[in-house]
Amino acid sequence: MTLYAVIFYVLSIVILTATGLAVTRRQPVHAVLYLIVAFLGTAALFFLLGAPLLAAFVVIIYAGAILVLILFVIMLLQRSPRELRLLSEWGPAVLLGIIFLAVAVATVFKDPGNRIVLQGAVAQPRDFGRFLFDRYWLAVEIISILFLVALVAILHLGKKREADGDEDEVNPVRNPNGAKEGHS
């Protein structure tokens, strides 16, 4: 078994584990973070298979834009912070992070004498961009409008929450005069 095969199987296990954890988490922030790990693993898998442009798109668009936008919405709408149980909540994330880091280091610092030619088509970014915008320009524009609508919605929710700032205080207590006082 070659180094590429080992890295492929390890990345596949990381992707499946992170996706399974994302689906089963009760906290939406943790689910999004596990989904980001799954997308980073998918990008590493695409890079390993000889598609660096597709790997960059997965990191930039999915892990970088969509999931971070979802994470901001979840954090914006989440009302009450709670205490963390260190091992049960951070254990799987740390384990997957260590495995992902080991695979990334093994990929970057692999033996240059071990040359395996990957079979597959390689597309230049210019050709891919021309194909994307010649045939699917309408879909690209619709997606950009959806991103704009999502950004405006987040800004609107943030402004609305900022205007209702009195509701966000921790344990407000009203004195007999009707003014709020902080609870010690």
Using alpha carbons, list the distances in angstroms from residue 19 to 22, 62, 74. Answer: 5, 14, 18
β-pair partners for 6: none
Specify whether 96 is located in the same domain as 55: yes
- Answer positive or negative: Cα dihedral of 132, 138, 144, 147: negative
User: Which pLDDT band, with edges at 50, 70 and 90, does 184 fall under?
Assistant: very low
Specify whether 67 is located in the same domain as 137: no
Q: What is the mean pLDDT of the chain?
A: 75
Stretch 10-15: mean pLDDT, rounded? 89
Is 0.75 surpassed by the pTM of this model? no
Specify whether 71 is located in the same domain as 96: yes
Query: Of residues 59 and 169, which shows the higher confidence score?
Result: 59
pLDDT for res 82: 57
3-class state of residue 157 by DSSP? helix
pLDDT for res 116: 60
Using alpha carbons, list the distances in angstroms from residue 45 to 63, 70, 77. Answer: 14, 24, 33
Specify whether 103 is located in the same domain as 57: yes
pLDDT for res 84: 55
3-class state of residue 70 by DSSP? helix
Contacts of 143 (CB under 8 A, 6+ apart): none
Specify whether 143 is located in the same domain as 96: no
Task: Check whether 171 has a pLDDT greater than 50.
Answer: no
Specify whether 58 is located in the same domain as 128: no
Task: Check whether 99 has a pLDDT greater than 50.
Answer: yes
Query: Of residues 168 and 137, which shows the higher confidence score?
Result: 137
Whether 32 maps to a domain, the answer reads yes
Exposure of 49 by Cβ count < 10 A (0-12 exposed, 13-18 middle, 19+ buried)?
middle
CB 32 within 8 A of CB 74: yes
Specify whether 29 is located in the same domain as 97: yes
Specify whether 23 is located in the same domain as 47: yes
CATH of the domain at 2: 1.20.120.1200
Q: What percent of the chain has pLDDT over 70?
A: 71
The percent helix, strand, coil of the chain (3-state, each to 5) is: 75, 5, 25
Give which of 142, 119, 140 is closest to 129, Cα–Cα: 140
Q: Total structural domains in the chain?
A: 2
Range(s) of the domain holding residue 140: 123-167
Tokens describing residue 97: 């992070």
pLDDT for res 168: 47
pLDDT for res 8: 86
pLDDT for res 181: 52
Specify whether 9 is located in the same domain as 59: yes
Specify whether 41 is located in the same domain as 69: yes
Specify whether 127 is located in the same domain as 104: no
Whether 173 maps to a domain, the answer reads no
